[in-house]
Structure 1
């Protein structure tokens, strides 16, 4: 094979490798911050490909999408342009875990995002396979492509998804491939290894796509969208979405399905030992589920449309790497799929990733300046986790070049902060998935207040417009003013008042109460108390819900704010970059080794490293105080 002759293809501020969900957010952030940016992708047809499930959001993930939107990212706006069904999850639970999840028209989602990239003034979109990274004086300096193009750049963001060293497995068959039949990125993987990067293998998978007309929906449960559509983007809060939503369907595997799987486990690459990569714990293959939950005689299966212009249906819950003929046989034992016709075979894909603990919380490499990593190469799973990292990597690439302070979100500010802190501080041995349970301060990090938390930060970066910022400030004022107004309305214990309260299943009043305090009662809501507040002005639904949540959870929120204040004290105690942990007397050997490896930038981050005990933190605090005094 002859190698291409290198030539200078262009000089840029930022070069982004990969146009998946991480890459596009990184490129758009850098370009919108005024930097000349190029984004390189193996295929223009693979831009933000929904290679696995055709949906955006879900528990925990929906919070990330809202935060990306508040900071000026594109994911929320794009799914609002291309969704075909919308559902708010966990409404029977508290507001901290309410999460929006929507089905996407995957082709439209791709086309709409491609258009956004093409129209961005400071962005060059290029189909080219990156094969090497250029370094100079321990600093990233550009990217080389397979055809010899040299894209010089002041910063490089690597967002290769599952393409890097991609290997597809279907039973005994395996071959080098990216997701969904795309080319893999093999030469870049080899180049990174030659340059000393330690790569690890991870694995994910996807179910079959089947023909819509071969399914018996009459034996399945219909899963309709919500009557009232809640948009992902705060910019669309007042928009009415007049679309006919497409239903999904719920069915189940059977004992016959499980028998076929058990009889063919020796032909599964995972169980036969062909795959060395670790798969996602929270999205296991059907083989994993049958083995791990052997007491269950059925598992949920969701049938989801891939779009309005295709008859492909996604069979959620039956991801598999079994041989093709076994897949067809077992799918046909699922209720309603007895005559199913395959359009795409399920497969597992193994790919290269890095140990994310080599990164700062800006997602920059600790030892190589202006080299950033984002998305599945960092050990995460999912479109939303990737997009969040891409946004932060793109922002910080721009901050470095412009001489601005690094942009870091901590665990008390955003789910994005939790995601990145978990990855770079704790690392991961399996594809990391965001869940609400990972956030300590989830009552204050709700999806409904992401704009109030983060819009100002996006505005300061130049990613949020003046108009949007003012809109957020107006919303904030409406909430604040309404809370004040409700606290001043006194309800006295008259016979009429108590009659109304009793009709609502609430206890009669014996003394005067404010309307604010009445809303705290579990059985009462902001809306149900209109009879006591007839003259109230109209407020948008999002404002009314925020007001009610702030009142009902006031006590818990106050406790959480005290916890956050304590958290901030340690988080704000920075650790000098030149610290030598071997000179810190009293540290355990394990703590010393872990601290040397992770190089935390604050005492708070140090306290979250596995193997670093509270006693070690006390020793570290004493050392830092002694150092401060000696230097002052």
Structure 2
């Protein structure tokens, strides 16, 4: 039934598990993906969308590293939007609405076409651990499958408990059973575990809604795409989303169920995501607000199922129904299923190395919600990194770790293992101190060379990136070297209500003005001729514009990142005894002893470790 021994076993086929399995298999490792239901591979348990603020950057980074999420998202998108376009490019974030059923289907078909990858459908009830090393898994039928490494991507399934009002029942997702046994094995091995909560809104029948009463939310006029490869194409047709609002009447109806809400009556003790609160939490915390936005999101091209974004709830189903019927446009709403909250086990991520390998058990990796994160994109990026590092461990090669100035993925993992998390962790641009460097437009420049070196990015992908990089650099140089006459540029400057020039000047200087964009520059014949003769596409023109307009900011941030890198290279011995450092605070000693940072820079980011503690540590290490 199985080969004697796998290189990598991935447990769970959500977003983290799919990326982990693809990465390990594509790196040449014999890989097994085990899931409770092969029909639910890469299921979008929550909203039917990929990307968004900071999350869109992560999807592009996954794509640049050779992952599949960007390609699947492009091939199953029903709408594309670039968010935050009114702000600087460090804040621009791509997002797509997805066809939920096709998303899962395309993921499965891509995995089935991936060499070295086997599949098996059954629940995993335990791990085989010997002498602090993982040796394989045990299924619910008692079958032992041996492996050199194991990646756990269990999502919300570990001892999952679903809450709807005063009803509760075991489950990892609506209609699916929870997984038991793994938590118990890990606790027995010495791991610390905890509980977290997340929730999801009701799904409703779109035929029962009155869209004429709502605000239509269209996609971009010129939609882009996630993947840097040429195997996906931008959308030519799009489906609209809609927006409506709650009201005081809706809030009053919801309050009727508060005494039966598991959030308020104490049945749910774990913490939920602060930045994606339930509707009952919103009206409780923001009692002064008369209304809250609800985004009405179609779940695909042809299905009538609709996701009510902003109405996440665990209230009794009759309260949910009554409240939604009081929302404008929802007066005749029909439910497909009510919203619910789910509690599940997670393992504080301070128990991991930067590779996502556990510190306690060699060859065992955690990725996704098991680490306390929330969101498809956060999970997928961890799965990719865990799959890469599990494969590299099997091949006895150096681990692959991204630094904070290299990728949002590096920020995410460093935050998790350095600071830990007691509530579901969600990525934001504000978490990245070098976000001007970590833009969505340059993820391929940053990461494709690293992926190519690993063996994930193809020759074609690498050549495409190099062409884009070289052509955008050459165009920037063209602006630096080429002058523009007063007669040619002043009409454009006048139309944009910015100061005129009295003598010819370099195009770079003119283009640097905030009022001037590439559309303006392309009105100049030399620029237009240059772009046409070199057949420059939209991506190259956009990249050149960003490099011109933000060159000062980018250079300043790169200098700051280089200063940080100096501390990154100061390694702390693996078994360093912090207790013998007399001048260090007790809290710092405790935190450093528990987390065991690899470098001085990582140590400086641990909550409770002060700059003076770092100074003492540097002196003690002879620096």
Q: TM-score with structure 2 length normalisation?
A: 0.97
Cα distance in 2, alignment partners of residues 329 and 389 from structure 1: 40
Partner of 1:594: 591
Range with bigger deviation, 308-317 or 524-533 = 524-533
User: Partner of 1:66 in structure 2?
Assistant: 60
Indicate whether 1:617 and 2:614 are aligned. yes
Counterpart of 2:428 in structure 1 is: 435
Unaligned runs of 5+ in 2: none
Partner of 2:602: 605
Cα separation, 2, equivalents of 1:171 and 1:164: 21
1:19 to 2:16 alignment: no
1:508 aligns to what?
500
Computed over aligned residues only, the root mean square deviation of the Cα atoms, in angstroms, reads 1.4
| Alpha-carbon offset, residue 506 of structure 1 | 2.3
Determine the structure 2 residue equivalent to 1:185.
179
Name the counterpart of 1:315.
308
Structure 1: how far apart are the matches of 2:403 and 2:41?
30
C-alpha change, 1:53 and 1:240, in structure 2 (3 Å) is closer
Q: 2: distance between equivalents of 1:194 and 1:501?
A: 71
Q: Which residue of 1 aligns with 2:391?
A: 398
2:528 maps to 1:531: no
Aligned to 2:72, the other structure's residue is in SS state helix
Is 1:519 the counterpart of 2:511? The answer is yes
* Secondary structure in 2 matching 1:582: helix
Aligned to 2:321: 328
Q: CA deviation at 1:451?
A: 0.3
1:527 Cα shift? 2.3
The number of aligned residues is 618
Greater mean alpha carbon deviation, residues 111-120 or residues 71-80: 111-120
Counterpart of 1:216 in structure 2 is 210
Contact 2:492 2:520 in 1 (8 A): no
Return 522-531 or 454-463, whichever deviates more.
522-531
Matches within 5 A, 1:28-427: 28-236=22-230, 239-242=233-236, 244-427=237-420
Tell me by how many angstroms 1:329 deviates: 0.5
1:629 is aligned to none
**CA distance, structure 2, for counterparts of residue 158 and residue 595 of structure 1:** 26
Deviations 1:258-314 (A, max 9, x none): 001122211110001001211000100000000000001100001111112421110
SS at match of 1:189: helix
The worse-fitting range, judged by mean Cα deviation, of 505-514 and 402-411 is 505-514
Structure 1, gaps ≥5 residues long: 1-6, 627-632
Cα distance between partner residues in 2 of 1:315 and 1:34: 42
* CA shift for structure 1 position 10: 4.1
1:350-377 CA-partner distances (Å, limit 9, x unpaired): 0000010010111011121111000000
Aligned to 1:499: 491
SS of corresponding position for 1:559: helix
Q: Deviations over 1:400-422 (max 9, x none)?
A: 11111111101110000010011
Tell me the alpha carbon deviations over residues 126-155 of structure 1, each in whole angstroms, 9 at most, x when there is no partner.
Answer: 111111111122111101101122110000
Runs of 4+ that moved beyond 6 A: none
Is residue 472 from structure 1 mapped to residue 469 from structure 2 by the alignment?
no
Query: Does the CA contact (< 8 Å) of 1:8 and 1:150 recur in 2?
Result: no
Counterpart in 1 of 2:557?
A: 560
Aligned to 1:4: none
Q: Equivalent residue for 1:630?
A: none
Separation (CA, whole Å) in 2 of partners of 1:437 and 1:119:
38
Give the superposition deviation at 1:194: 3.3
